[in-house]
Amino acid sequence: MDLLTGIRTRRSVRKFTTKVVEEEHIKAILEAGFCAPSARNLRPQRFVVVDKEELLHELAEFAPNYGRLHDAAAAIVVCGDRSVQETQEFLIEDCAASVQNMLLAIHGLGLGAVWCGVRFDSDGAKALRQKLEMPNPVIPIALIALGYPAETPTVPERYDEQRVHWNSF
Ligand SMILES: Cc1cc2nc3c(=O)[nH]c(=O)nc-3n(C[C@H](O)[C@H](O)[C@H](O)COP(=O)(O)O)c2cc1C
């Protein structure tokens, strides 16, 4: 699949088969995460891979929108190290860039995934930090629930002339 086709056809997948995701695929996905740009190239992104079924079920209960983890074969918790990038906006943006890279890699590998938002300082975020034993400066920014897809969402046309402005708004 060429890059633009991959970008155009990626959709969130929320239903997964029970098939285990191979470790080599997980590593390829993580590499895509590491390849993301980051402010001043500080690379504050940290990743926690969760592939134990029992732990996935436990994390799924920490917030209503983490529930997708119940069905997922694995999860990647995308974290930011505040001791490396102290500017909060950049920390979030760096992690978001990694998430998108990984979603595209997942799609390119024939897998599926959904980005689950983690709210700052929420009970869910606190529970994740504690359960996954994150050191103090490290905070969770996003969860990726992934697996082999059990659904194929349709791909809508998204280019919208109305939202594009050339040279002035
Ligand atoms: C910051 C962020 C948080 C999101 N959180 C959730 C979530 O908690 N649960 C969920 O099912 N989808 C979540 N999504 C996925 C969006 O719902 C999805 O990307 C959007 O509906 C567009 O669909 P698509 O990904 O198929 O293009 C999130 C996406 C982003 C960017």
Say how far apart CA 76 and CA 146 lie, in whole Å: 8
Distance (Å) from CA 11 to ligand 1 centroid: 9
Q: Per-residue pLDDT averaged across 15-32, rounded? A: 98
Residue with tokens 């959709």: 11
**Three-state SS across 6-65?**
HHHHCCCCCCECCCCCCHHHHHHHHHHHHCCCCHHHCCCEEEEEECCHHHHHHHHCCCHH
Distance (Å) from CA 68 to ligand 1 centroid: 11
Which residue has the least CA distance to atom 8 on ligand 1?
116
Residue with tokens 């505040």: 82
The CATH architecture annotation of domain 3-151 reads 3-Layer(aba) Sandwich (3.40)
Name 116's bridge partners. Answer: 143
pLDDT for 36 equals 98
Distance (Å) from CA 66 to ligand 1 centroid: 12
Model confidence at 109, pLDDT cuts 50, 70, 90, reads: very high
Distance (Å) from CA 115 to ligand 1 centroid: 5
Tell me which of 7, 9, 12, 15 to substitute to probe ligand 1's pocket, judged by most ligand atoms within 8 Å of the beta carbon: 12
Q: Find out whether 63 and 122 touch, Cβ atoms under 8 Å.
A: yes
Q: Is the pTM of this model over 0.95?
A: yes
Q: Looking only at Cα atoms, what is the longest distance across the chain?
A: 53
Closest atom of ligand 1 to CA, residue 68: 11
Give residues (CB < 6 A) around ligand 1: 11-12, 14, 65, 68, 114-117, 153
Distance (Å) from CA 12 to ligand 1 centroid: 7
Model confidence at 21, pLDDT cuts 50, 70, 90, reads: very high
Residue with tokens 């993580």: 30
Show me where the domains of the chain are located: 3-151
- Token pair listed for 72: 């997922």
Model confidence at 143, pLDDT cuts 50, 70, 90, reads: very high
pLDDT averaged over every residue in the chain: 98
Residue with tokens 């990984």: 102
Say how far apart CA 55 and CA 38 lie, in whole Å: 30
Closest atom of ligand 1 to CA, residue 11: 26
Q: Per-residue pLDDT averaged across 116-142, rounded? A: 97
Percent of the chain with pLDDT over 70: 100
